[in-house]
Chain A
Amino acid sequence: MWRIAGASAAGASHLRAGTPCQDAFSYHLLPGEVVLLIAADGAGSAQRGQLGAELAVQAASGGCIVDTVEGCDGEVSTLVALVQHAFYSARQALDAACDGPQSLRELATTLQVLLIGPRGWAYGGVGDGGGVGRDDTGTWTVSPPHQNVYVNETIFLTSEYELRTASGAEVLTGAALFTDGLERLAMRTSDWTPHPGFFGPVFRLLELTQDTSAANKLLALLGSERVQQRTDDDCTLVICVKGDDRA
């Protein structure tokens, strides 16, 4: 039995500038006990980055839902194919929503997709932000970030991108995706390992809280002064934990 929750909060720099939160997220429980987590960060420099993030998330989740409408075997190779198709669908949606390169750039957004099945997981990402997985060995990153990209520059779904992918046969009992506003709070940036003091309690929060109020708690966390003092940017966190089946 999976518990899933997510929240986005606008960062202080967006509040100051009067721009809305440009992150978007989504999650679904697909057939075959497969969890789908999606997060996107619309570019602050793009005029319609928020719309780009929302379109990308909708199209990516729509693609995965349609693909699994007749069931999903949960094999890692299937999850990998679903990730690929999610990105294809997202880019197609952005292409369809614009009428030339100029307006495509206006929809610039990052995108991350993580699928967790009973026999493994698959991840895909364009741009910054990251994901972690938890199994009985601990919590670890599913994919290190792109190298050689400067702090205030990243790669977007709207440009010529290279999809960063990863997959594994680990059986996950928890997973999370986060956008770059949370990177420096949730990860040790020197070696890109998850900060245990962050993910341990976050997973526990979801384990101990009913789904709807868990989302409210995540929202309270992201909007809290403790977080807002540490990051200026929009923050999104989507997490899932596997509950105890015996309970």
Chain B
Amino acid sequence: MSDDLLTDIGFADNADPRCPCVLLIDVSSSMSGDPIKAVNEGLAAFQRETAADSVASRRVEVAVVTFGTGASVVQDFVTVDQFVPPELQAGGQTHMGAGVETALNLLAQRKAVYKTNGISCYRPWIFMITDGSPYGELDNVVESARQRLLQELTDNKTAFFAVGTETANFTRLQTFTAPSRPPMKLVGLKFVDLFVWLSRSQQAVAQSQVGQQVALPPAGWAAV
């Protein structure tokens, strides 16, 4: 009889909390050739690694925004088990301001969807990759995007990671990041290593408990 009392107890069937992540990728002409090929291989590795983790594949939602001449949403948010890595092409200028604005807008929309549906979420990540610095946009466009981003970082609305290849302008990139999270330099074209790291980090976040400071794995792809 005692066991019956316990087995009578049922549990709520709630949607998994989501862990949104925007991949914000520079596809300007200087990324042509080997760099963009390496990025595409990295995206495929990210999908493979994250999908292999059953919890992360249900909780991590990924979107891909590219910026060249203008910015575009190549992939709107999907959970990783639904994510088909795109084949990105490079060409054009470096409209980083438009890229940042597009990423922030996409995140705001997604958070509204979560709210409407009562889905809880982890702090969103924007993960930007570039080989240069803003180019071809009016200064005030870039500045307004940068200010909006910094405000969101101050308000803890998002976590922003900037990764530059060796040709990137780190002095400029640093003005986009929080002091606690300066831009990181990618060694060579280790995009696969970078995205495997991103996947592991997102797996750690997706399984973290309340109040836990998520210890990110060591970034073996980054120059110290």
Q: What residues of chain A have their CB less than 8 Å away from a CB belonging to chain B?
A: 11, 13, 41, 43-46, 49, 108, 127-128, 150-154, 156, 180, 184-191, 195, 197-198, 201-202, 204-205, 208-209, 213, 217, 220-221, 224, 226-227, 230, 232-233
Q: How many A-B residue pairs have CB under 8 A?
A: 109
Q: How far is it, in angstroms, between the C-alpha of A186 and the C-alpha of B9 when the chains are bound?
A: 10
**CB–CB A189/B15 < 8 A:** yes
| Residues of B in contact with A (beta carbons under 8 Å apart) | 2, 5-6, 8-12, 14-15, 17, 117-123, 205, 207-214
Q: Which residues of B contact A156 (CB under 8 A)?
A: 211
Chain A residues whose C-beta falls within 8 Å of the C-beta of B10 in the assembled complex: 195, 197-198, 201
Q: Which residue of chain B has its CB nearest to the CB of A108?
A: B211
The complex places the Cα of A190 from the Cα of B15 at a distance, in Å, of 9
Q: How far apart are A108's CB and chain B's nearest CB, in angstroms?
A: 7
Which of A150, A195, A233 lies in contact with B122, CB distance below 8 A? A150
- Establish whether residues A154 and B6, one from each chain, have CB atoms under 8 Å apart when the complex forms: no
Contact between B6 and A152, CB atoms less than 8 A apart: no
Cα separation A198 to B13 with both chains bound (whole Å) = 11
Given contacts A152-B212, A154-B210, contact A224 B6 (CB under 8 A): yes
Distance of B18 from chain A, by nearest CB (Å): 9
Contact of A151 with B212 in the complex, beta carbons under 8 Å: no
Q: Are A44 and B12 interface neighbours, CB within 8 A?
A: no
B14 in contact with A189 (CB, 8 Å): yes
Least CB distance from A169 to B in Å reads 28
In Å, the complex CA distance between A202 and B121 comes to 29
Contact (Cβ within 8 A) B209 A195: no
Cα–Cα, bound, A154→B209 (Å): 10
Q: How far is the CA of A205 from the CA of B9 in the complex (A)?
A: 9
**Of A152, A188, A204, A230, which is within 8 A of B210 by CB?**
A152
